[in-house]
Structure 1
Amino acid sequence: MSLRLLSWNVRGLNNPQKREVCKNLLKEWKCDIVCFQEMKLSSLNSVVVRSLWGSPFLDWVALDTVNTAGGVLLVWDKRVLEKVDSVVGRFSVNVLLKGVVDDFVWAGSGVYGPNDDNQRGALWEELTRMHSRWNTAWCVFGDFNIIRFPSERLGCETFSSAIFAFSDFIEANYLVDLPLEGASFTWFRDSGTNCMSRIDRTLESVDWVDHFGNVSQRVLPRVVSDHCPLLVVASSVSKGRSAFKFENMWLKEEGFVERVRQWWNGYCFSGSPSFILARKLKALKEDLKKWNKEEFGDLAFRKKCLLSDLLGLEAREDLLGLSQEGQTRIQIKGEIAHLASLEEISWRQKSRMLFVKEGDNNTCFFHRVANSHRRTNHIRGVEVDGVLYEDEEEVRSKVVHFYQNLYTESDT
């Protein structure tokens, strides 16, 4: 299952020519769900929405503009997603969706945030209520009109209370802030002044990312707006049933060996020695898999949360002059160092360079070797007779056809 999601502040869709350009671009980008912000349309109906989408297979929900200002429109392909429930708030359009192919249920929230700091608290409360209402996988996207770090606005050097509140909302709802590929900023002032910032973004819950397994976010060219469209491509990696693998980094976790010993001694099976050994190994595998998922967790996500906590702590100290958080900072840094050590062991194991000793810190080398294995085993596209095929089914079909012909020719 794959999904292509687009978030785009188009700054006015009341112009028919602009809608025509948007429709043409959407066809090229092949989106399954699109969120428009700041349409500035005085009235919105099916005719206008179809003039944007260009296909009869659509459904939509909208937050109306106020005095031809603002507004959010969420449109999706009914052949890919179907609506289960929807709520239109003051700043957002929220839809509970279900995948037609895989029955995956998730909530999507399209946002157009306020410019007034005094109103941003109401936005975070509104979105948090939506999350609690459905309590499922969640993806939030749109123009938040607020940055998260000073580096996301040209010329900005200090944190503000509004920036802290944005990060607090992300952390409180356990959202993942995906890296932005292709650019550092998403909004550019078209006048002579040099102003740019990253106020557009997408945020995903961990279970939403885990469902697809391969999620990326990139900036598309600015064409009819001073905002760049954001394209999120989420696709599950097709693979067979993965074999169980013991992770060497588990041995570094405090209490792990004693836990395994208790599990092993607690198993009770009857039969021949070889049968008992096989059953105990199988039971141990299930306990290890459960422990890894529920307790050990994802190292990258754990480290990302700690780094975010550390950044927020240091920023607060710079802003408010706090000093009593020193012990907390030391503890967080220690946990980050421990997780980094575990990650290095994991990469070393994946790279299969067993001759390298554990004390070697050439992490980048291990990353390149492990990633090269993935790239070698994954075919992103094939070119046949000058035509490039990137769709997964088309790639599979062309590869099978090639080897079938090769086999036939060898027989003759």
Structure 2
Amino acid sequence: MDFSIISWNVRGLGKVEKLGAVRRLIRNEKAKFILIQETKLEQFSPAILRSMGCYQGFNSIFAPAAGSAGGLLSAWRNDFFSVTNIVLDSRFIAIFGKAQGSDLNWGIVNVYGPTIEAEKHEFFRQLLNFIHSHKVAWIVGGDFNAYLCREEKIGMVCNYKTMDIFRNFVNEAQLVDLPMHGGSFTWSSNREIPTFVRLDRFFICEEILVVCHNLNQFLLPNSVSDHNAIALKCEGDGWGPKPFKLFNYMLEVEGFEDLISNSVVAAKRKNGRVGILNILRGAKSDIKAWSKEQKLANRDIISETEADISRLEVECQKSGDCADAWKSLNLLRQKLWELLRREERA
């Protein structure tokens, strides 16, 4: 089997930059199944799904937010997962069916655990009862708003009672906590004196591990949320040419006017008394080549900026002090937002 499932607490899908970040994540990870927490949306439409990069061949289920709090979205490729049943709850979405290449009946659960400590015991009790009531191979992922051990938190006081509740849930559900490659923490307070916690993860049952021998869990680079996305990967599209479009943002990019001037001059030098149609054809060709270079460069810069943010956060996690890196982190996050806005205009 060969697949990638991503989970991300995006902290709101109401901005085009957030939708663009999700779309880029799905594209880069070649995701077959997507678990999104905290959409903060009370309503959802196919247009939002398309804006996320989930075009033809995707299906989805949505649990609305209560006001501006919570909200869950699960989406999947129909050629990867054949759905037989869906269970919708305010704090989790369970999708039942079969994955391509496997005869097992799967249950993929998208979880958003409560932030209030007093509600966590009841939440994990209900989730455990739900898991015990269905005989399927489980993948349970999302933001649990809980951590398993003291080493999964830096800063602030640890809540040992909640840790015990969470560990008991994992043990009684007979789920496996895979090691996470690429980092140790999935959430940051983004403050000068930071707190880092591993709140997001995937749990797997043993039946899944038997059929998916190369299954690994990865921490993905930080983006436009205070949560890192995570990916569960088992590693074992050409759309043809796009039509030419001239966008307003191009006119604002340094060097664009020179590109057009040089294109016109080159066309006249090559053809003498060249007509306007040939000039436009030449300019179109030059703009397409320039636009492709700009887009690829912008994506590279986005990836580099995310990597820089992650690197600085790792340094903070090791030292326990973000005072020196605080200004640099803020500047990098501002830069990332601007780059994502530029990509959305492309």
**TM-score (norm. length: structure 1):** 0.55
> Per the alignment, do residues 85 and 54 of structure 1 end up closer, same or farther by CA in structure 2, a change over 3 Å counting?
closer
After TM superposition, list the pairs within 5 Å mapping 1:5-404 onto structure 2: 5-155=5-155, 160-235=160-235
Q: In structure 2, what is the equivalent of residue 393 of structure 1?
A: none
Following the alignment from structure 2 to structure 1, what is the Cα–Cα distance between the partners of residues 67 and 157? 35
Q: Provide the identity percentage.
A: 27
Following the alignment from structure 2 to structure 1, what is the Cα–Cα distance between the partners of residues 58 and 158? 44
Query: Deviation at 1:47?
Result: 1.8
For 1:31, the aligned partner's letter is: A
For 2:181, the aligned partner's letter is: E
Query: Deviation at 1:24?
Result: 2.1
Equivalent residue of 1:60, what SS? Answer: strand
Query: Deviation at 1:193?
Result: 2.8
For 1:24, the aligned partner's letter is: R
For 1:73, the aligned partner's letter is: L
Following the alignment from structure 2 to structure 1, what is the Cα–Cα distance between the partners of residues 158 and 190? 25
Ranked by relative contact order (alpha carbons within 8 Å, sequence separation 6 or more), the top structure is: 2
Q: In structure 2, what is the equivalent of residue 298 of structure 1?
A: none
Equivalent residue of 2:145, what SS? Answer: coil
For 2:198, the aligned partner's letter is: R
Query: Deviation at 1:21?
Result: 2.6
**TM-score (norm. length: structure 2):** 0.65
Contact 2:82 2:97 in 1 (8 A): yes
Following the alignment from structure 1 to structure 2, what is the Cα–Cα distance between the partners of residues 24 and 78? 20
Following the alignment from structure 1 to structure 2, what is the Cα–Cα distance between the partners of residues 129 and 46? 33
Equivalent residue of 2:25, what SS? Answer: helix
Query: Deviation at 1:185?
Result: 0.6
Query: Deviation at 1:158?
Result: 5.4
Following the alignment from structure 1 to structure 2, what is the Cα–Cα distance between the partners of residues 79 and 130? 27
User: Which consecutive unaligned segments of at least 5 residues does structure 2 have?
Assistant: 237-346
Query: Deviation at 1:50?
Result: 2.1
Query: Deviation at 1:177?
Result: 0.5
For 2:9, the aligned partner's letter is: N
Following the alignment from structure 2 to structure 1, what is the Cα–Cα distance between the partners of residues 103 and 57? 18
Equivalent residue of 1:227, what SS? Answer: coil
Equivalent residue of 2:52, what SS? Answer: helix
Following the alignment from structure 1 to structure 2, what is the Cα–Cα distance between the partners of residues 27 and 158? 37
Following the alignment from structure 1 to structure 2, what is the Cα–Cα distance between the partners of residues 156 and 190? 13
Query: Deviation at 1:226?
Result: 1.1
> Between Structure 1 and Structure 2, how many residues are aligned?
236
Contact 2:39 2:72 in 1 (8 A): yes
Query: Deviation at 1:101?
Result: 3.9
Following the alignment from structure 1 to structure 2, what is the Cα–Cα distance between the partners of residues 42 and 61? 13
Contact 2:104 2:137 in 1 (8 A): no
Query: Deviation at 1:190?
Result: 2.0
Following the alignment from structure 2 to structure 1, what is the Cα–Cα distance between the partners of residues 102 and 171? 29
Following the alignment from structure 2 to structure 1, what is the Cα–Cα distance between the partners of residues 92 and 105? 19
Equivalent residue of 1:110, what SS? Answer: strand
Following the alignment from structure 1 to structure 2, what is the Cα–Cα distance between the partners of residues 127 and 66? 20
Following the alignment from structure 2 to structure 1, what is the Cα–Cα distance between the partners of residues 53 and 97? 19
Q: Write out per-residue CA displacement over residues 245-265 of structure 1, whole angstroms, 9 at most, x where no aligned residue.
A: xxxxxxxxxxxxxxxxxxxxx
Query: Deviation at 1:165?
Result: 0.7
Contact 1:150 1:156 in 2 (8 A): no
Contact 1:188 1:227 in 2 (8 A): yes
Q: Write out per-residue CA displacement over residues 99-133 of structure 1, whole angstroms, 9 at most, x where no aligned residue.
A: 23434320011011101122112221232233133
> Per the alignment, do residues 194 and 123 of structure 1 end up closer, same or farther by CA in structure 2, a change over 3 Å counting?
same
Query: Deviation at 1:156?
Result: 5.7
Following the alignment from structure 2 to structure 1, what is the Cα–Cα distance between the partners of residues 28 and 70? 26
User: Which consecutive unaligned segments of at least 5 residues does structure 1 have?
Assistant: 237-412
